[in-house]
């Protein structure tokens, strides 16, 4: 093997020494007087720090175990041939799930406290069984997705065999949603109300929608992959966006206003005051839903941060399908359980774009090679768009689709100068699209462009959600 071209990234021991007591303080803070208004949030933050440290230190520590277990690969877009441990997303998934499981007692600490301090009175203080079911079913769904991903990494399951699994993984979610006598009504946008009325009961279709959402979010990140840190980078920015959205609904001790009227909205968003956060308008239920979402998102950001340290260009570790599946399922779970699935979809704009762009290849109109990652030029160290070749002249429909895409500037095609028939076309992914529009660039630059587009998508999502939503919907959108 010779000398490795990429040695493991060094880990600052001072980080471990410095962050451990910080984590300890956050975990213990709820037990100190005066008890903070949202004690679970402190513990969750403390656990997240521990999860971050665990991933940061475990990923390089278990490298040799992964290589020994045949879980390694070579980086296709590099000049060196080092063995890089593959599917280390399973480390993230394991740490993440263990964090969530250990956090269960703290998520229900208010139930423990209230049963202790209020023994008198006729109404028995009921344990929040519904919240517990939601919590358990969420972990269960995420765990099934993580296993699917890992089995896929180990056994290379065919895609049509694994397609139904996200649907099965979402059965626990559906059951809990039903148990709440799930509200399957959907508010109709103003322009359509003359036809449908103001509420439409989707009924069983709502459950189909939930299943499709899980399928999309688990696969959406997975098909936007192939360059260092692309998968974990997307997950990180989506999770941060969700956290920002959640924080809008939390009771803050400080009081501030967000000038959403600048975005064209009629309302003022005022954030502040315990249990009367701006967007929650004093609804305890809304606060609890977004707390639930934060309990799942903060550890996710933590494991993603720990992993991106090793996965960043040039990568020392690969995530495998495990990371894509479990992060995707986590987003679907919180979107469904905390009832903001439409807002969530807005954070997936680059993934939606990538999926729509990919459709002609996914559905067989355009030939789909095994890898659609950009082509690496070993001399310049730059990435170029990779291409799909037509062995036989394409059908009329395919030609039409590619010519439309080409006119929109989404792809570059090469045509036969004599017959005008299409010979090849750049692969239909967002990564190749960036390379077509912005020209060849390094892998590091490309992942930065991808993350910037994800970030820009989130900004747009907030504008649409809090600015434009009041145009198509009236009143408070909860």
List of residues contacting a copy of itself (CB under 8 A): 62, 65-66, 68-71, 90, 94, 97-98, 101-102, 104-105, 108, 111, 115, 127, 129-130, 132-133, 136-137, 139-140, 143-144, 146-147, 150-151, 154-156, 168-169, 171-172, 175-176, 178-181
- 3-state SS assignment for residue 259: coil
- DSSP letters, 408-462, are TTS--EEE-TTT--EEEEE-SSHHHHHHHHH--B-HHHHHHHHHHHHHHHHHHHH
Shortest distance, position 239 Cβ to a copy of itself, whole Å: 22
> Between residues 106 and 405, which has the closer beta carbon with respect to a copy of itself?
106
CB of 309 to a copy of itself, least distance (A): 22
* Closest approach of a copy of itself to the CB of residue 74, in Å: 17
Q: CB-wise, 240 or 332, nearer to a copy of itself? A: 332
Least separation in angstroms between residue 6's CB and a copy of itself is: 22
- Phi and psi dihedrals of 199, rounded to 5? -130, 140
Residue nearer to a copy of itself on the CB measure, 149 or 335: 149
Characterize the bridge pairing of strands 422-426 and 387-389.
antiparallel
Residue nearer to a copy of itself on the CB measure, 165 or 373:
165
CA-nearest of 420, 415, 416, 449 to 432 is 449
Which positions ≥6 away from 361 have C-beta within 8 Å?
367, 368, 372, 388, 427, 428
DSSP, res 226: -
State the chain's maximal CA–CA distance in angstroms. 91
Nearer to a copy of itself, 73 or 409 (CB): 73
Q: Residue 151 Cβ, how far from a copy of itself at the closest point, in Å?
A: 7
- For a copy of itself, the closer of residues 100 and 357 by Cβ is 100
Shortest distance in whole angstroms from residue 155 CB to a copy of itself: 5
- Comparison of 151 and 469: residue with beta carbon closer to a copy of itself: 151
Which residues are registered as beta bridge partners of 382?
377
Instruction: Tell the smallest beta-carbon distance from residue 16 to a copy of itself (Å).
Output: 19
Residue with smaller CB distance to a copy of itself, 80 or 127: 127
Contacts of 120 (CB under 8 A, 6+ apart): none
Distance in Å, CB of 215 to a copy of itself, minimum: 16
Report the 10 Å Cβ neighbour count for 426.
25
Contact 432, 310 (CB under 8 A): no
CA within 13 Å, CB half, 80: 13
């Amino acid at each position: 093997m010779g000398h490795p071209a990429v040695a493991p990234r060094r880990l600052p021991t001072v980080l471990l020494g410095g962050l451990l007591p910080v984590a300890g303080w956050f975990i213990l803070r709820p037990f100190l007087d005066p008890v903070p208004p949202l004690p679970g949030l402190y513990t969750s933050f403390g656990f997240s720090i521990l999860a971050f440290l665990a991933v940061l230190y475990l990923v390089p520590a278990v490298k040799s175990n992964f290589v020994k277990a045949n879980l390694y690969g070579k980086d296709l877009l590099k000049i060196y041939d080092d063995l890089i441990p593959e599917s280390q997303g399973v480390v993230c998934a394991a740490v993440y799930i263990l964090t969530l499981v250990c956090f269960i007692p703290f998520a229900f600490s208010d139930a423990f406290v209230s049963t202790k301090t209020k023994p008198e009175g006729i109404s028995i203080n009921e344990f929040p069984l519904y919240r517990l079911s939601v919590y358990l079913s969420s972990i269960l769904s995420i765990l099934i997705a993580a296993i699917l991903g890992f089995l896929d990494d180990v056994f290379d399951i065919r895609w049509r065999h694994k397609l139904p699994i996200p649907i099965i993984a979402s059965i626990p979610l559906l059951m809990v949603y039903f148990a709440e006598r799930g509200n399957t009504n959907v508010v109709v946008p103003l322009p359509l109300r003359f036809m449908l009325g103001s509420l439409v009961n989707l009924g069983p279709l709502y459950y189909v929608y939930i299943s499709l959402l899980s399928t999309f979010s688990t696969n959406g990140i997975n098909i936007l992959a192939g360059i260092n840190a692309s998968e974990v980078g997307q997950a990180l920015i989506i999770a941060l966006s969700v956290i920002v959205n959640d924080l809008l609904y939390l009771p803050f001790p400080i009081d501030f206003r967000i000038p959403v009227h600048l975005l064209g909205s009629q309302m003022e968003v005022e954030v502040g005051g315990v249990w009367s956060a701006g967007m929650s308008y004093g609804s305890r239920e809304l606060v609890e839903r977004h707390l639930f979402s934060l309990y799942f998102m903060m550890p996710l950001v933590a494991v993603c941060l720990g992993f991106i340290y090793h996965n960043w260009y040039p990568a020392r570790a690969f995530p495998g399908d495990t990371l894509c599946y479990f992060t995707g399922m986590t987003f679907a779970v919180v979107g469904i359980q905390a009832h903001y699935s439409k807002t969530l979809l807005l954070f997936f704009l680059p993934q939606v774009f990538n999926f729509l762009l990919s459709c002609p290849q996914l559905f067989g109109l355009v030939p789909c090679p095994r890898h659609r990652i950009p082509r690496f030029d070993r001399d310049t160290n730059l990435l170029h768009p990779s291409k799909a070749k037509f062995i036989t002249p394409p059908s009329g429909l395919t030609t039409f689709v590619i010519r439309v895409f080409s006119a929109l500037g989404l792809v570059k095609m090469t045509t036969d100068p004599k017959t005008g028939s299409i010979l090849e076309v750049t692969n239909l992914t967002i990564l190749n699209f960036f390379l077509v529009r912005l020209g060849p660039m390094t892998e590091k630059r490309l992942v930065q462009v991808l993350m910037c587009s994800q970030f820009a998508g989130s900004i747009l999502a907030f504008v649409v959600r809090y600015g434009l939503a009041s145009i198509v919907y009236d009143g408070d959108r909860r």
